[in-house]
């Protein structure tokens, strides 16, 4: 009789459904219940670095913006340090690096304010270009989708990034690059996420 390995299985995922806001953003569902909702201030008031805005849409296979999607963002600070005990280094007081993002229910547009992250050194010593990790859930998405946002104005770092380098096709690499413009003197990065089609965004099996 062979021995048993006795690992547990990961709890299987199910869709977040159309009413995800009740649990994760009840104000958007239409009621006030918690002292504070979580994830609305990613960088906090003391974060160093360039203040930026990120905006976009998540677009379905019909070309329509998804209005009931919820995203979460996870990023390092401007020095490339994550607010997490397993990452060496200090972050600014109030910097969490995590945010929760919902859409305008009428248009599907979403956006958030943060600071631009710095390059991050991985455990293997290789440097990753500045990026924001995104996790996307909605009705019709059975397992949360994971992708990364990189910055247009970091072309050299992007070219050397080991994760972008895993993507064989230049056209697909471009789906991870947020386009920079300025509004009222503040940098705005546009990052549309396409779930299907020729320009389908790269998603990672992490």
Partner 1 sequence: MKPGPLYQRDRQWHPPALTPDYKTSVSRSPQYSMISLETTVSEITGPVFGHNDIDPIDKDLLSNYAKPGESPIGERIILHGRVLDENARPIPNTLVEIWQANAGGRYRHKKDTYLAPIDPNFGGCGRTISDADGYYHFRTVKPGAYPWRNWVNNWRPAHIHMSIFGTAFAQRLITQCYFEGDPLIAKCPIVNSIPDPQAVEQLTARLDLNATIPLDTIAYKFDIVVRGRRSILFENRPEGN
Judged by beta carbon, residue 22 or residue 160, the one nearer partner 1 is 22
* Residue among 71, 78, 96, 154 that touches partner 1 (CB under 8 A): 96
Task: Please give the torsion angle defined by the CA atoms of residues 133, 40, 136 and 130, in that order, rounded to the nearest 10 degrees.
Answer: -10
| Contacting residue, 138, 149, 157, 178, with partner 1 by CB under 8 A | 138
Cβ atoms within 10 Å of 59's Cβ, excluding its own: 21
Binding track, positions 2-21, relative to partner 1; x by CB under 8 A: ----xxxxxxxxxxxxxxxx
Do 136 and 69 touch, CB atoms closer than 8 A?
Answer: yes
Note whether 122 binds partner 1 by CB under 8 A: yes
Residue 25: CB atoms within 10 A of its CB come to 17
Q: Least CB distance from residue 194 to partner 1, whole Å?
A: 9
Nearer to partner 1, 168 or 184 (CB): 168
Nearest distance from residue 123's CB to partner 1, in Å? Answer: 6
Pairwise CA distance, residues 22 & 158, whole Å: 38
Residue numbers 38-67 binding partner 1 by CB under 8 A: 38, 60-62, 66
Q: What would the two tokens of residue 2 be?
A: 């062979």
């Amino acid at each position: 009789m062979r021995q048993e390995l006795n690992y547990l299985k990961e709890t299987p995922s199910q869709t977040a459904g159309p009413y995800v806001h009740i649990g994760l953003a009840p104000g958007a569902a239409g009621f006030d219940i918690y002292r504070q909702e979580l994830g609305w201030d990613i960088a906090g008031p003391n974060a160093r670095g360039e203040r930026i805005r990120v905006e976009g849409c998540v677009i379905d296979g019909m070309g329509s913006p998804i209005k009931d999607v919820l995203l979460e963002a996870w990023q390092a600070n401007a020095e490339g340090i994550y607010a997490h005990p397993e990452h060496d280094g200090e972050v600014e007081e109030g910097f969490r690096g995590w945010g929760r993002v919902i859409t305008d229910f009428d248009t599907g547009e979403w956006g958030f304010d943060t600071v631009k992250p710095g390059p991050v050194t991985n455990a293997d010593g290789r440097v990753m270009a500045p990026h924001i990790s995104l996790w996307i859930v909605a009705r019709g998405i059975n397992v949360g989708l994971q992708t990364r946002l990189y910055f247009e104005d970091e072309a050299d770092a992007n070219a050397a990034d080991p994760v972008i380098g895993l993507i064989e096709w230049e056209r697909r690499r471009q789906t991870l690059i947020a386009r920079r413009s300025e509004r009222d003197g503040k940098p705005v990065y546009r990052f549309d996420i396409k779930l299907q089609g020729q320009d389908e965004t790269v998603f990672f099996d992490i």
